Structure 1
Amino acid sequence: MLQRLATFVDGDKPMSRLAAAGAGVVLLLGGVIVATTAATPRQSAVASATDCLTSTGTAWRLDPEQQRHARTILAIGQQRQLPPRAWAIAIATAAQESSLRNDPTPDRHGSSGLFQQTPPGWGTREQVNDPTYAATAFYTALSKVPDWQTLPLTVAAQTVQRSAYPDAYAKHTATALAALRELADTELDCDQITAGSAAPAPRNPDGTWPKEGCVVRPDPTTNRGCLTPRTAHLIAQAKGAGYANPGCFRPSGPGEHPKGRACDWMMTSGGAATGAQRARGDAMAAWAVANADRLGIMYVIWYRQVWSPAEGWHSYTNPFGGTGPSGEHTNHVHISVY
């Protein structure tokens, strides 16, 4: 039945040839062919809460002091009538900056308190060491960030904090969401809290993806070749979400790159991503999955894992035998679109 459907696409991930938009997909994973069902029009491609929490770190078990400060952050956000996404950003920020502990001792940069704010810009020393004042000041600054409601959590937090570790906030998303569920009794859409929303790509009236040629010339990321309009839209949305330009078109080889339908976002200059680089890759992969239905994303590969709308995240082994950071996708996030 599978016959010739299984073809190697991309060198990043083997996929089937798509007979038409919305056609079934055949995956060859680790040498095993697995038939799947493609997303129907408007089918949600948002990962489950479990997937989201897994991709954004392990939630802490908050002790009484940390719970007290998390409740203060929640209370101030509710008083200011801000949405739950703002509460999550604030808790994740405080988790990164102070481990949700109110240390009044200035660090070597002069920062202290729950959000590690620095006088005089954030207030007096006494004020920044007051959790209620500190949370209020954070929310005030967050509210002034353009499009903070749709920026990835880590980008919104970094815009406020201007940290030396700009991508570290993402790893505290699980802690923030767990705290909201426990302390605010609020069920949240994990992916949208984490990733932010992208503007949707154009669809046909019936909700299917229009067939597109490689007509955007040249590919602005390589200054050669071409991209499909949907790929160009993906790049623009990723840039708006705070991610740098990828590399997309390749002149030869199997798969989506020569068709202008795939891009690689490098997290390092070559080696495997660790620390803040890994956190940024995690954040981008979560952003892509959360917005897959809006952007027409066919699959995402990151850090030995591959995601597709039909199967979610699962283990990835390069079928071409590729190893190292490039072959295992530990230095870049790969995204292909329909």
Structure 2
Amino acid sequence: MAGSTVVGRRPPARPASRPPGSAPLRLLLVLLAVLVTVVVVSVGGGGSSAVSTECTVAGSDVRVSSEQAANAATIAAVARSRGLPPRATVIALATAQQESRIRNLDHGDRDSLGLFQQRPSQGWGSEAQVQDPVYATGKFLDGLVEVPDWETGRLTDVAQAVQRSGFPEAYQQWEPMATALAGALLSDQPGQLTCTYRPDEASGAVDPRTAVVVDALRREAGPAQAHLGGSITVPGEGWPAASWAVAHASRLQLASIRYAGWEWTAEGGWADGSGDPGVLTVQLTL
């Protein structure tokens, strides 16, 4: 599991002496390396882009990356689809934060993988399965609901009963963060989670991308229906589905989301807008 002890390496011994003039040369090389790094970051970062790719929780100082938000939304969606109370999402999010920082890792201690650092050799599933966030969350929840008094027990004790980590107290520190994030993802109030990002200039043909988004929505959020021009509707679903779409917007390249008189855009976040009160509408970038 993640969190295993890492043994540090002893630093190499410093030479007893160095050739004259080597210190200035090293200083010059360091300065050149810094200059090159700055140039590379500026070019790779898209130049003048001022749109952050982070997500924020209303009324909280919690900030997560778009990758973390998407995985967190999947965790919340799986728990909600099982009819589990919000406490299940809080425990799962705190566990994933400790194990992987809510990232779907392709590495870990020994053969640990995925959001929860589950080990295929210990019966959690195949390598592909434990790196599927929906499957991995389901397996964690399978274990969670078998823990006596999991709904009322101390978070770190419950998580440890499922994970059996070498650091059983480590989960507890993430309860406030997980509570705020779960509250936003499961809330029936407008705009509790907002994300902003700059859409790709060349996203590809809209029809294949629409099919991918429809499949993702149907698997995690609700009965999606595709329409012409990259528009998708999800009737009968509420704010949790809208928050799921916002969390996955960067990954799925969504341009706008409309629900219950509110509209989210990729570069502006949530604002009062227009929308059918009962129909969530998702628009892909074109």
| Alignment TM class, shorter chain as reference | 0.3 to 0.5
Identify, as 1 or 2, the structure richer in helix: 2
Answer with 1 or 2: which has the greater Rg.
2
